[in-house]
Amino acid sequence: MSLISRLGFKPIKKELISVPMIISANDISIIVPVKDNQNGITKLLNSFEDIFADSTSVKEVIIVDNLSQVPIKICEHYSFNIQLITCRIIGPAAARNKGSSLANGNWLLFLDSDCIPTKSTILGYLTNDNTHLAYAGNIKVISNSKLSLYYETQEILIPPRAIDNEVVRPDYLVTANCLVYKKAFDQLNGFDEGFKQAGGEDIDLGFRLLTIGSIDYQLNSIVLHDFNDGIKGFIKRFIRYGKGNRQLSLKHMLDLRPRPFIPKAKTPFNIVLALIQFVSMSKGYYFGCITNQRKYDNTISKGYNRVCCKVSNRKK
């Protein structure tokens, strides 16, 4: 077997899950976690209202409010089936799991609250010859700002290619736009809720899906991502990704330490952004390392104290 994976993950196949050949719009439940982004949710739902007016609607749209300071509201009356629920466990992994547990569709389409769907978002996934458990969709930027275009030219939200048995597939999934077979999702118990930040939980799910089936690209399904949070958001995003990579490295025994790189579009602005990206990911990665080590040390210390107490009590 030939396997080339950027992250080095080598799936060990278990019992494979059979999948339905046909994917129709009415089989799809859309899951969107959100925290403190009322404007984003309103834009997303309004876009779906326009899209579904010209095409077949999905099974449902489930919005999961994950501890917003001001609770998310749905003020408009939409023509499609929509649910607004709350999740009080920290993290988008837990929020997506909560939404998925209530989903009635055979397929789960995961989007982010800062994404705008297009007419191709649903249509791109509809097929009569499906053989895969999940698909990585396409994510483009809304703005033409230099910062937004950096995300797109670096393909930060597009999973890199892996070659498995001479077949090209995504190395993992990105939940800004991905479709997952619910039966497979449930068998794996969904996202690992140990990932509290937005980063790493989708890669981990993709890794685990590869042990029970195959995943593929579906770049005909396009969503637009809004990166309007500026350089501060850029830094915070890559700190989160660094933390997620650290958790992935510990869970899957991989070397995911951040490394310096030259951007694909070699402009002075992009070179500076690449440096900031590397520093931010390193901060997240090594801060996560220190945090995990402290938790480990505390666990060992507590265990040692319990043993000492038992020994002391026996002596008495």
Do 223 and 148 belong together in one domain?
yes
Distance CA 83, CA 99 (A): 9
Question: pLDDT for 205-240, tens place per residue?
Answer: 999 999 999 999 999 999 999 998 999 999 999 999
Taking alpha carbons only, the member of 39, 52, 31, 25 closest to residue 119 is 52
Do 193 and 73 belong together in one domain?
yes
Structure tokens at 220: 């005909």
Do 161 and 306 belong together in one domain?
no
Res 121: pLDDT? 97
Question: pLDDT for 256-302, tens place per residue?
Answer: 999 999 999 999 999 999 999 999 999 999 986 544 444 434 433 44
Quote the percentage of the chain above a pLDDT of 70. 90
Do 219 and 256 belong together in one domain?
no
Hey, how many other C-beta atoms are within 10 angstroms of the C-beta on 197?
21
Do 165 and 273 belong together in one domain?
no
Res 300: pLDDT? 33
Task: Give the total number of structural domains in the chain.
Answer: 2
pLDDT over 80 at 187, yes or no: yes
Residue 74 inside a domain? The answer is yes
Residue 136 inside a domain? The answer is yes
Do 188 and 114 belong together in one domain?
yes
Residue 235 inside a domain? The answer is no
Taking alpha carbons only, the member of 112, 86, 83 closest to residue 98 is 86
Question: Beta strand 134-141 with 215-225: parallel, antiparallel or unpaired?
Answer: parallel
CATH code, domain with 163: 3.90.550.10
Q: What is the domain extent for residue 203?
A: 3-228
Question: Beta strand 115-117 with 215-225: parallel, antiparallel or unpaired?
Answer: antiparallel
Do 172 and 267 belong together in one domain?
no
CA distances from 283 to 184, 231, 247, 295 (A): 34, 16, 14, 18
Distance CA 226, CA 126 (A): 25
Do 90 and 194 belong together in one domain?
yes
Question: pLDDT for 78-118, tens place per residue?
Answer: 999 999 999 999 999 999 999 999 999 999 999 999 999 99
Do 137 and 169 belong together in one domain?
yes
